[in-house]
Structure 1
Amino acid sequence: MEALMTLIITIIFFALIFEFINGFHDTANAIAMSVSTRALSPKIAVVYSGIINFIGAVSSTAVAKSIGGNIADPMNIKHGSMIVIAALISAIIWNLLTWYFGIPSSSSHTLIGSIAGAVIMGSGLHSVNWAGFSTIIEGLLISPVLAFIVGFIVMKILKLLFRKARPQPTNRGFRLVQILTAGLTSYSHGGNDGQKTMGIIVFALVVGGFKTNLDVPLWVQIICALTMALGTMVGGWRIIKTVGGKIFKIQPIHGFASDFTSFAVMQTATHFGLPVSTTHVTSSSVLGVGSANHFRSVRWGTAIRILIAWVITLPISAILAGVIVSILKLF
């Protein structure tokens, strides 16, 4: 029992490290627009976003249950604790690498790929719940496409409504509104991304026999929400520079359109319990808004770099997690 408890504490420790990194890695996307348009200063933005992320993270548990049971059944896998540890180590390594190079890679893809790779290597192909896994992948694939389309439409509508408006007062007005939309995007991030680590901890508790269902205890919600909020307050300036300035030149009206789109898409996904990527949704909404504003104004070289990161993240994290499981099996 002591050894099992030590394993669970180890898993929670790694899970909270991942959640902290997720805070400054993915949450940067939620506030990139408001910082880039100077609606909020970086210091105020990260504190503000951290508080709102906490509220979002404790508001729902639907996504946590999806992560905890849709990829694999924690009651029917071998080496469950080792699999969770390997998946978390893999996700932490890839998140740190992409953060260091300022690449807006997805923590969601990283975590889901790592879990799948660790389960396959640790317990076999048959242990993956392929129906649930496919549903999660569908959500991850559809959400950025939807964000691009919605962002494009929202920006076209705004251009039509404000085509005769004077730039200076219009920008000033949208900067004020961006404070609200940055909060809404942060809330959606907390309500979706913040729950993924909760799902991992619950998965581990079920594997260890400390729980018999996927309901998320209040203490798990609170420690995960607090850790992510703390990570958010550390900030993620490297990612902000890429999303908020290197795709195209952002004006307050563009920032509002992108934030509103990201909020709408992520909130819809959370309602249905689908884990989506804040990184993908935010970046795609920026691309959609930029394309609606002026197709040639988008720096498609940066967009392609982001797309490559999207494509390679899931398989690389799965392979990395599989390698880590193989190493842990030696001990």
Structure 2
Amino acid sequence: MVGVEQIAVLSVGAVASFFMAWTVGAGWTPYAPSVGARTMTIMRAAFFTGLFGIAGAVLQGANVTEAMAAGLIEGVSISPIGAVIALTVAAGLVAIGVFAGYPLATAFTATGAVIGVGLALGGQPAYAKYQQILLLWVLTPFLCGGTAYGLARLIRRDDVPDEYTIPLFGGLVGLILANSPFTMLAPEQGGASVAAVLSEELPLSPLLGLAVVTLLVGLVLGGILLLEVRSSVRRGQRHLLFGIGALVSFSAGGSQVGLAVGPLVPMLTPLELPILVVLVFGGLGVMFGAWMGAPRMIKALARDFSSLGPRRATAALIPAFAIAQTAVLFGIPVSFNEIIVSAVIGSGYAVGGEKTSTGKILYTVFGWVVSLLLSFVLAFGLLTVVEML
């Protein structure tokens, strides 16, 4: 039986979790390059961000949720009070960033807060997980920004027309999509990719079967866009950009919902609720957050960081999709704004970076670092004081 006191704490935790989910969604900017390319309005971008985001939360959110629930601290479980403090601190800092117009890294604040309360409870650092997280955080600007820069430089070449680059980019997206994990395909294993599932049906070795299915998906998507650009290059480009934005929004849901509902999971153990219920709860929060708060952040990135055309916007979104799916696959909490900002900056520098605000970039990075340290200190300090009382 769940007592009145437990219900009260759980209610506060649920409110804090939903608020955190709202602020996470409000800070999303997957369609910012599309708005910067003037192929979509800000409000339409926010609507589709929320719509595809909740789908990703439900279908791909399990891995990161489990990591945030029990993967950051060893030896102890996060207490209900600790979860409430972690969620409140993280959500508060992200909300400040949203309303100030600067994209704080949600993963930095959430991770720092959970580690802070975990250590305050007497837990031990999960060094192996921290190495994975730190590696992805450090490599993201270089991999995402560097790939976006390279793709943007490629499509600027006069000898590489859109009739070839659009199907090529569609094929690249297909290769990534084929290997993206989906929880429903293998719930007991944390998810499986379409390529992994279909390759088991082929009379080939696992590695060769995986390669064949991956290549087939890429060829199908590339072929569809090849047929479309033959009738209208502009329509093919617009559809490619919208499709990648949808996949990036979907990936945002899968990689970000765990930041909000992960700390809530230990509190729900007595209720024995399936994780799907938790993911739907978090997905609703990020969807409403995207609809209500994301327009401000989309405008900030689309207009203030760099002015991208449709080509460079596409070049920015492809590596963003790849990095986000990597985070989902390994259950690593990653900042989606770090991904998008890196991609936008890399694509912007393909034309010399004359339209990229260096000052705002440095200020944003400084805000990320401060948010990580501040969330850790606040969460650790608050729980320590509560435990003393």
TM-score range, shorter chain: 0.7 to 0.9
Residue aligning to 1:181: 244
1:172-201 residue CA offsets vs partner (Å, 9 max, x unmatched): 753443211211110110110123223222
Asked if the contact 2:327–2:334 (Cα under 8 Å) also holds between the matched residues in 1, the reply is yes
Quick check: 1:41 aligned with 2:41? yes
Equivalent AA in structure 2 for residue 151 of structure 1: A
Instruction: State the 4+ residue runs in structure 1 displaced beyond 4 angstroms.
Output: 161-166, 169-173
| Worse-superposed segment, 275-284 or 318-327 | 318-327
Q: How does 1:148-163 map to 2 (within 5 A)?
A: 148-160=145-157
Aligned to 1:123: 121
Contact 1:143 1:276 survives alignment (8 Å): no
Give 2:277's aligned residue: 219
- Say yes or no: does 1:267 pair with 2:325: yes
Offset of residue 232 of structure 1: 1.1
Q: Is the 8 A contact 2:145 2:347 kept in 1?
A: yes
Instruction: Give me the whole-angstrom Cα distance separating, in 2, the residues matched to 1:304 and 1:34.
Output: 23
What's the TM-score once normalised by structure 1's chain length?
A: 0.88
Deviation string 1:179-229 (CA, Å, 9 cap, x unpaired) is 1121111011011012322322213334xx555xxx962211111111211
Match of 1:20 in 2: 22
Secondary structure of the equivalent of 1:30? coil
Instruction: Please name the residue that 1:89 is paired with.
Output: 88
Tell me which of 137, 142, 145 is aligned to 1:140.
137
Partner Cα distance (1:216, 1:304) in 2: 42
Q: Secondary structure at the match of 1:257?
A: helix
Alpha-carbon spacing, 1:216–1:311, altered in 2? closer, same or farther (3 Å): farther
Query: Does the CA-based 8 Å contact 1:38-1:175 persist in structure 2?
Result: no
Moved more, 221-230 or 241-250: 241-250
**Equivalent residues in 2 for 1:300-319 (5 A)?**
300-319=358-377
Q: 2:261 pairs with 173, 195, 198, which one?
A: 198
1:70 match: 71
Aligned to 1:50: 50
Same amino acid, percent of matched pairs: 21
> By how many angstroms is 1:86 displaced?
0.9
Consecutive unaligned residues of structure 2, counting only runs of 5 or more, are 164-231
The Cα shift of 1:36 comes to: 2.4
Q: Return the offset for 1:64.
A: 1.2
Partner Cα separation in structure 1 for residue 314 and residue 282 of structure 2? 29
Are the equivalent residues in 2 in contact too, given 1:88–1:114 (CA < 8 A)?
A: yes
2:335 — aligned with what? 277
Q: Distance in 2 between matches of 1:292 and 1:46?
A: 27
Distance 2:313 2:255 in 1: 21
Decide whether the 8 Å contact of 2:38 with 2:309 is kept in 1.
no
Worse overlay, 105-114 or 288-297 = 288-297
Give the TM-score normalised by structure 2: 0.75
SS at the partner of 1:275? Answer: coil
Counterpart in 1 of 2:167? none
Label 1:248 to 1:162 Cα distance change in 2 as closer, same or farther (>3 A): farther
Q: Which amino acid aligns with 2:364?
A: I
SS of 2:73's equivalent in the other structure is: coil
1:248 is aligned, of 306, 327, 334, to 306
Paired residue secondary structure (2:107): helix
Cα distance change of structure 1 residues 165 and 149 upon mapping to structure 2, 3 Å threshold: closer
Question: 1:202 touches 1:216 (CA, 8 Å); kept in 2?
Answer: no
Separation in 2, partners of 1:8, 1:119: 18
**Which stretch shifts more, 131-140 or 285-294?**
131-140
Shift of 1:327: 4.1
Give the 3-state SS of the residue equivalent to 2:332 in structure 1: coil
| Superposition CA RMSD, Å | 2.4
Shift of 1:132: 2.2
Gaps spanning 5+ residues in structure 1: where?
A: none
Q: Secondary structure at the match of 1:241?
A: helix
CA–CA separation in structure 2 for the residues paired with 1:87 and 1:15: 10
The residue identity in structure 2 corresponding to 1:72 is: I
Deviates more, 1:145-154 or 1:105-114: 145-154
